[in-house]
Amino acid sequence: MAWRYIADDGVGAAVGLAADEVVTRRQGRGQSPPTLRLYTYRSHCALVGRFQRLGSELRLDECRRAGVQVNRRPTGGGAIIMGADQLGIAIMAPAPAGERSYDRARELFARFSSGLTAALGALGIAAEYRRKNDVEVGRKKIAGLGIYFDPAGGMLFHASLLVDLDVAFMLSVLRTPFEKISDKEIATVGERMTTIRRELGREVTTAEVRELVRVAYARTLGLELEPGPFSSEECLEIAALARERYETEKWLGREPATPDAMGSATVKTEGGLLTAHLTLAGEVIKAIYLTGDFFTDDAILAGMERALRWHPVGAEAVTETLEALREREALALPGVPSEAVARAVELAADAARRHELAGLAKGCFVNP
């Protein structure tokens, strides 16, 4: 099966997103060939998910100070930082009516992340699709996934692959559940994710990674990839969409139906002090980090946090989930019962609600 292959670098936020949407829209009309696009944004761009609020997810003053372009993706998911060391992947193809369902998102994520896991495997990095929309290496996130179905009949699969990442810089522009950002908080976030360079312990260029990803997608999807530029018609539509949507306040200033609120709380346990830092979207845990002076393995904390993201905030439900995780995967903090974790979560949620009522609600950092 022949698909078009596009590689470009240093694209701006508005034009980069408009290009993916235009080609996706044209898929349903048969006006553009199915396309694999592997590209980088200019350093740097901060992109939030379709249903997020810029001011909740990003430190906009810091973005302006650092010259970071901000925008909103057509796909869902969380806020990410993109630049020369983060490879963007866009698969744009027709989606038959029976396949245009977000209920099939996990199935499609598994299928279209296969090129990423195969490319990483070629580098000797064992990766797998896990959880809601992540590709992980040893329970650490290395790529985030997103999907969008255009009403005209096209599908857009988005991914961001971390060749490298400046965690401190990322946290300076993305909002987090932490009340302050110090070396400890930077280390906490850094332990939950990884990059290709970190895994290899050596330098590797984004261009090298892109070529491996291209070859892997050709093999895993059975494609013959033919290099080709955007057509002149596509370029005109991309420029128009960037101007009429992605550069407008109406698109950038969209508000979610449910605002976010942040809170933290600490409880004392036999295993040590435990602090829960979380962000609520309504009564759902949108993001959570567990810190403290206990002794454990990074993978245990990451697994517990993963289980509680997008989870109801109620203490009983949290306890049941953590107990199931303890039995199923032996993931638990030594000397810290599930009820204590649930209590910390409950108190942090109460703090978040108080902040929200006081008009101080802020957004969260959701891993890229």
pLDDT tens, residue by residue, 238-284: 999 999 999 999 999 876 555 678 888 999 988 888 889 998 888 89
The average pLDDT across 210-220 equals: 98
Task: Verify that 223 and 168 share a domain, yes or no.
Answer: yes
Same domain membership, residue 281 and residue 264: yes
State residue 363's pLDDT score.
30
Within 10 A of 108 (CB to CB), how many other CB atoms are there? 19
Q: How confident is the model at residue 221 (pLDDT cuts 50, 70, 90)?
A: very high
Is 30 contained in some domain?
A: yes
For residue 76, which of 47, 103, 97 has the smallest C-alpha distance?
Answer: 47
CA 159 to chain CA centroid, Å, is: 8
| Same domain, residue pair 69 and 217 | yes
Q: Region 203-210: what's the mean pLDDT?
A: 98
Are residue 212 and residue 81 in the same domain, yes or no? yes
What pLDDT, on the 0 to 100 scale, is given for residue 134? Answer: 92
Burial of 235 from C-beta contacts in 10 A (0-12 / 13-18 / 19+): middle
| 235 and 297 inside one domain | no
Owning domain of residue 343: 260-357
Determine the Cα–Cα distance for residues 30 and 128; give it in Å rounded to an integer: 33
**Is there a single domain that holds both residue 237 and residue 341?**
no
Classify residue 229 as exposed, middle or buried by CB count within 10 Å of its CB (0-12, 13-18, 19+).
Answer: exposed
What's the rounded Cα separation, in Å, for the pair 290 and 120? Answer: 29
Q: Are 129 and 205 contained in the same domain?
A: yes
Q: Does residue 201 belong to any structural domain of this protein?
A: yes
Query: Per-residue pLDDT for 171 more than 70?
Result: yes
364: in domain: no
Spatial distance between the Cα atoms of 346 and 97, rounded to a whole number of angstroms: 43
Residue 33 contacts residue 1 (beta carbons within 8 Å): no
pLDDT beyond 70 at 201: yes
pLDDT at 179: 64
Last residue of a domain, one of 252, 279, 295: 252
Average pLDDT estimate for 331-360 = 85
Q: How far apart are CA 59 and CA 171, in angstroms?
A: 9
Which residues are paired to 90 by β-bridges?
37, 158
Task: Clarify whether residues 226 and 333 are in a common domain.
Answer: no
Same domain for 238 and 345, yes or no, is no
Question: Are residue 170 and residue 291 in the same domain, yes or no?
Answer: no
Most confident of 237-241, 252-256, 327-331, 347-351: 237-241
224 belongs to a structural domain: yes
Examine residue 136 and state whether it is found in any structural domain, yes or no.
yes
Close Cβ partners of 161 (under 8 Å, ≥ 6 residues apart): 86, 87, 88, 89, 116, 135, 142, 143, 196, 209, 213
Residue 353 — pLDDT band, cuts 50, 70, 90? confident
Q: What does the pLDDT read at residue 361? A: 31
CB of 7 within 8 A of CB of 38?
yes
**CATH number of the structural domain spanning residue 347:** 3.30.390.50
Residues 242 and 282 in one domain: no
Give the pLDDT mean for 90-109. Answer: 85
Question: How many domains would you assign to the chain?
Answer: 2
Domain's final residue, options 221, 252, 283: 252
Q: Between these two residues, 178 and 203, which has the higher pLDDT value? A: 203
Q: Would 368 be classed as within a structural domain? A: no
Q: What is the chain's mean pLDDT, rounded?
A: 89
Which pLDDT score, from 0 to 100, does residue 255 have? 64
Residue 71 counted as domain residue: yes
pLDDT band at 366 (very low <50, low <70, confident <90, very high): very low
pLDDT given at position 259: 63
Kindly report the CA angle at 339 between 338 and 345, in degrees rounded to 5? 90
Query: What end-to-end distance do the CA atoms of the chain give, in Å?
Result: 31
Task: Identify whether residues 128 and 158 lie together within a single domain.
Answer: yes
pLDDT of residue 184: 78
pLDDT at 81 (0 to 100): 96
Pick the last residue of a domain from 198, 229, 252. 252
229 pLDDT above the threshold of 70: yes
Determine the average pLDDT of the residues in 106-127.
Answer: 96
- Domain CATH for 150: 3.30.930.10
Residue 362 lies in a domain: no
- For the chain, percent of residues with pLDDT exceeding 70: 94
